[in-house]
Amino acid sequence: METVDIQATLVAYAAVWNEPDEYHRQELIEQIWCENGVYEDRQHRVTGCQALREYIHAFQKRYPDLRIELTGEIVVEQEHVSFTWRACDPDGLAWLIRQDRATLTRDGKLQSIIGVLTE
């Protein structure tokens, strides 16, 4: 994982959540997400690019004004990467702050994202 630009991958991942155009969002997902990648939080588990696209689309419809922002430092722990992010409204108020743990493939694609802490 040393040769992979983890920061760029996670910035692209946040951009996926903020992308309003469904087709462009799908292109971005395919660039950074494994075909059988898993996203999991306390309430949901989705597998694959198509399922992730649909999950993000539903999130955007439910919370149209929220934007995802990476916060804090990225910590590499053996084969996992921990990072924090927040979902903010247009006034900058954080509605959700979370720390996630990611696993990346050797070529830098996200293999899994698991939410490990929610405030």
pLDDT above 80 for 119: no
Confidence grade of residue 26 (pLDDT, cut at 50, 70, 90): very high
Q: What is the pLDDT of residues 45-68, one digit of tens each?
A: 999 999 999 999 999 999 999 999
Q: What is the layout of strands, in order, in the sheet containing 33-40? A: 45-47, 33-40, 110-118, 94-104, 80-88, 67-77
Among the four given CATH numbers 3.40.1380.20, 3.40.640.10, 3.20.20.150, 3.10.450.50, the one describing domain 6-118? 3.10.450.50
Whole-prediction pTM value? 0.89
Give the mean pLDDT of 25-53: 93
Q: Write the DSSP symbol of residue 27.
A: H
Q: Tell me what pLDDT residue 58 has.
A: 95
pLDDT above 60 for 118: no
Distance CA 79, CA 77 (A): 6
User: What residue segments make up the domains of the chain, in order of their start?
Assistant: 6-118
